[in-house]
Amino acid sequence: MLRRWRLSSEGAVEAEDGPIWIFSSPDEGERRRLVEEIGLDAHTLASALDPDELARVEHEPDHLAVILKRPRSWTEAEGRMFRVASAGLFLFPDRLVVVTDEDVPIVEGATFAPRGGAPSDGLLRIAHRTVYRFLGHLRVIGAAADEIEGLIATSLENRHLMGLFRLGKSLVHYQSALDGNAAALERLKASAGKFGLTPEQQDLLDDIAIENRQCLHQADIASSVLASLMDARASIVNNNLAVLMKTLNIITLLIMAPTLVVSIFSMNVAIPMQGWSSAFWVILGLAAAAAAGFVAAWRYRRW
């Protein structure tokens, strides 16, 4: 699906003559158009739709090709698994062609990018928007980790451990994506003059690169905290299991003491008090005394 956008003083707006062309999940006909009419390299186009492709910058004869990593749209149905995808940005002198594998708000939303109408402004806006979305997802991951942290203190269920594992796996993918984007942004900065970035745009590119590094730093911290949580989870499970086994052993011993008394007086041999009418209550009292004695000894020894 093709949507065309224009940048104005009010932000990004859809326009039929907009210089920003966004192809979302292009079909076979649109892919042929991108290769044959617009002039994109078929391999680079395939890379833009490959979620495992690395971020990079390539200089083609008539345009600049940039592959950036971006966070894939997340829904609650996917649980605590966050994934990354690729986006291809192809900067021509008169237009910016963007290729993604899903329809996402890649130019809309708040950003500090310039509101000029040049295609290069659109590239910087999308780069900043990508960093902004990564930051938003990191906040969601942090909230999910806090939620699990409150549950692992008392729970022995494996589903919380699997939730931590999925969050940790997501952070590893995010770290790799942000690191790749950092390399691509540095490459853009080094070749800014080749595709005509103004001094203002170059300053903005520096700011985007700094924010990307800060986002990567936050992902590193979140990954370290999550790894500590997983270690704490294992320690807490072992401690809870030990406490549970101790409680079960104490209950077993508490039951055994009165059971021993009653068993002695249940033997089919001559025993004291077998002719007493109140022997039942005496034996019951002895059993209770045995249980009380065990509890007293347990508290005295601080078991």
Flag whether 11 is in a domain: yes
Long-range contacts of 135-139 (CB under 8 A, 24+ apart): 135/215, 135/218, 137/71, 137/74, 137/82, 137/174, 138/174, 138/215, 138/218, 138/219, 138/222
**Domain, as residue range, for 283:** 265-303
- The stretch 35-53 carries a mean pLDDT of 88
Flag whether 107 is in a domain: yes
CA distance linking residue 135 with residue 37, whole number of Å: 36
Q: What does the pLDDT read at residue 210?
A: 92
Q: What does the pLDDT read at residue 212?
A: 93
- Give the model confidence (pLDDT) of 140-175 as tens digits: 888 888 887 777 666 656 777 777 788 888 899 999
- The stretch 4-8 carries a mean pLDDT of 78
CA distance linking residue 216 with residue 220, whole number of Å: 6
User: Does 102 score more than 80 pLDDT?
Assistant: yes
- Give the model confidence (pLDDT) of 63-87 as tens digits: 888 999 998 887 666 667 888 999 9
CATH classification of the domain holding 48:
3.30.460.20
CA distance linking residue 203 with residue 124, whole number of Å: 11
User: Does 271 score more than 70 pLDDT?
Assistant: no
- Count structural domains, the chain: 2
pTM of this prediction? 0.74
201 and 298, same domain (yes or no): no
Flag whether 245 is in a domain: no
128 and 18, same domain (yes or no): yes
